[in-house]
Homo-oligomer: A and B are copies of this chain.
């Protein structure tokens, strides 16, 4: 699986470019693209702030966003939530940013972030959870947090995190388990609502993969075997 490329679109301050590069490298990424840096390139302030990160990265500079993303597959806009995109948390972005093709993560300029035109190029939006009363992140800090959450530190391992089961799969598992528990008289009128809620929450929060869901279906079927018609050869 290929790690994503980090793309700074029209960054203004060399210090932020350098600090962004440093943290990208800290968390195991090696590819940085810079589109139209305000103060030109190379930039001594960027070099100073990068603390040698540039020496072990592939850094390229282009004058057009289209050139910068031409070879990439999916693009992720880092921005506040949008209505036009699938909005991902950094955690849920993980399963999309690593793929067999190279993807890109776009960061806008210090002053106003990504423009609508830049966001329109993207298939996904990644939004950081921030305090609504003080939401504006420094560019380099946003890059650091995203790089940390998508860290690429074991390139020898398969980088693709287990995909999560769909909400449909989780709901089907929940329904099947609930039915079996009803048959087993696990619920009483007094505890039905609270136990149902707790089970739902447990299944939703356990980060189950599709394989985990299949495993649990099998386990629940097996445990409740004596309660079930036994003519199903799959039980």
Q: Is the CB of A23 within 8 A of B181?
A: no
Q: Write the chain B residue with the least CB distance to A162.
A: B205
Shortest CB-to-CB span from A158 to chain B, Å, is 14
CA gap between A144 and B195 in the complex, in Å = 39
The 0/1 profile, CB within 8 Å of B marked 1, for residues 177-198 of chain A is 1001100111000000001001
CA gap between A202 and B214 in the complex, in Å = 12
Partner of A222, one of B134, B145, B149, B185: B185
Q: Is the CB of B224 within 8 A of A202?
A: no
Interface status of A153 (Cβ within 8 A of chain B): yes
Q: Write the chain B residue with the least CB distance to A141.
A: B144
Q: Write the chain B residue with the least CB distance to A214.
A: B198
CA gap between A174 and B204 in the complex, in Å = 20
Q: Determine the chain B residues whose CB is within 8 A of the CB of A49 once the complex forms.
A: 138
Q: Is the CB of A218 within 8 A of B148?
A: no
Residues of chain A touching chain B, judged by Cβ–Cβ distance below 8 Å, are 15, 19, 22-23, 25-28, 49, 51, 53, 56, 128-131, 133-138, 140-141, 144-145, 148-149, 151, 153, 177, 180-181, 184-186, 195, 198-199, 202, 205-208, 211-212, 215-216, 218-220, 222-227
